[in-house]
Amino acid sequence: MRVIDSHTAGEPTRVVLDGGPDLGSGTLAERAARLEVEHLDFCASVVLEPRGHDAIIGALLVPPSNPDCVAGVIYFNNLQNLGMCGHATIGLGVTLAHLGRIGPGRHKFETPVGVVEIDLIDANTVSVVNIESYRLAKDVTLEVEGIGPVTGDVAWGGNWFFLVKNSPVALTGANIRPLTDLTLKIRDALEKAGVTGKDGAWIDHIELFGPAEDPSAQSRNFVLCPGGAYDRSPCGTGCSAKLACLAADGALAPGEDYLQESVIGSTYKISYQPGPGGGVIPTITGQAFVTSDANLIFNPADPYRAGIRL
Ligand code: PYC
């Protein structure tokens, strides 16, 4: 199975070029559901140890059902599928350019939550125009165990997010463990309080904000991903959810640039245009770099060929 690894602003992506499971026909959302339910071993074998680690996002290329799209793509992590993934879409654009499959300019990808468009600006720089993003609830206050009340917004950016404006823990590399513990507690508190995304969807990403270290950035974030890893990048879908909140609060004008810094100090330039459904159409610009071009080997005698799942 040939894979290309890259990182976007520090966050890893593994694009699976061939050798993935047969997902049959149907919409991309139907094929993604089949991947998640029927091919857990495949996903785990690609992203988990001993071949991967908990931060890697897999990107399985599949034929698009929309003829306008260069490719269909299903993103998955160490736990489940993702609806969309901003950093992995930047990584996918750079990977396809590295392979000579796309050139500079605009290209569309079909994801389970809709069509996204990229602009390949140069070999390493990509802008992603994401699906329409929106805020579902403002100022939801939760009682978080050992912390007290925490207030945040619920928003959709291709995944569901709970966004907390002022992190009670400083957003530094030295605090990754306490930040992870805090965000896991917030996620538990959301579940206990029955706070969900639309149609009862699990809010699986938690995003904390604080002051940026880079003087040209407006904000720094820490993002907890569904499987418990933190996002090394500023999180493309998290930035989309944030843009929806900034727009709803009248805190950022359409087309105005905003620099979002991650907990490791990497940045995305982000902006939005008003969306047809009352939300926002986010644009996320960042850089990715290819780190390896490899063949994964699945030896039937290897007891951990399908990944280590504890
Ligand atoms: O960039 O959207 C993103 C993302 C989601 C989870 C990890 N990265």
- Domain limits at 44? 2-130+291-295
Tell me the three state secondary structure of residue 274: strand
Instruction: Looking at the structure, tell me whether residues 124 and 147 fall in a common domain.
Output: no
How many A from CA of 157 to the centre of ligand 1?
10
Active site residue 235: yes
Instruction: Looking at the structure, tell me whether residues 103 and 142 fall in a common domain.
Output: no
Both tokens assigned to 74: 């299903």
Q: Is residue 285 part of a domain?
A: no
The whole-number pLDDT of residue 79 equals 85
**Nearest ligand 1 atom, CA 226:** 6
Q: Is residue 282 part of a domain?
A: no
Torsion over CA of 32, 36, 38 and 42, rounded to 10 degrees?
A: 100
Count of beta carbons in the 10 Å neighbourhood of residue 13: 28
Q: Is the CB of 56 under 6 A from ligand 1?
A: no
How many A from CA of 96 to the centre of ligand 1?
19
Distance CA 16, CA 34 (A): 17
The whole-number pLDDT of residue 36 equals 93
Q: Is residue 284 part of a domain?
A: no
Q: Whose CA is nearest to atom 8 of ligand 1?
A: 235
The whole-number pLDDT of residue 273 equals 98
pLDDT in tens, 57-97: 999 999 999 999 999 999 999 888 999 999 999 999 999 99
Q: Is the CB of 236 under 6 A from ligand 1?
A: yes
Count of beta carbons in the 10 Å neighbourhood of residue 257: 11
- Structural domain total, the chain: 2
The whole-number pLDDT of residue 81 equals 93
The whole-number pLDDT of residue 217 equals 98
Residue numbers in the chain where pLDDT is lower than 70: none
What is the bridge-based pairing of β-strands 57-62 and 11-16? parallel
| β strands within 160-305, DSSP E | 160-164, 205-210, 219-224, 258-261, 267-274, 280-295
Instruction: Looking at the structure, tell me whether residues 265 and 138 fall in a common domain.
Output: yes
The CATH number of the domain holding residue 257 is: 3.10.310.10
Q: Is the CB of 5 under 6 A from ligand 1?
A: no
Instruction: Looking at the structure, tell me whether residues 139 and 126 fall in a common domain.
Output: no
